[in-house]
Amino acid sequence: MPGDAYLEYLGRFEAHVGAIAVGAYGKFHGKLVRKLSAEEFTVKHGELTKLAKTYQTILERGDTLNDALTKLLRERQIELLLEPQ
């Protein structure tokens, strides 16, 4: 459920970045991240889900990975405070 994912994100944010207001910035793995609102999170989470599916399909087919896709996937993971997979 999207609400559960957002609550998990908030927990990760507080644990790794600290207790700051929505819209404020902090550091995660040396990168500047902004605490997202529920609406912003939903959009970014949807983008990450789509990118992850595309990435997995490419790997399964044995196609060559596009550097731009890999970079965008990593950016979304950082924005959502997820460890790279």
2: pLDDT confidence band, cut at 50, 70 and 90? low
pLDDT value at 38 more than 90: yes
Domain residue spans in the chain?
Answer: 2-79
Give the whole-angstrom CA distance, residue 40 versus residue 43. 5
Paired tokens of 55: 């990435």
- Asked if 13 and 23 count as a contact pair (C-beta separation under 8 A), the reply is no
Residue 3 has pLDDT above 90, yes or no: no
- pLDDT per residue as tens digits for the range 43-77: 999 999 999 999 999 989 988 888 888 999 999 99
In the three-class reduction of DSSP (H, G, I as helix; E, B as strand; rest coil), residue 35 is classed as: coil
pLDDT at 84 over 90: no
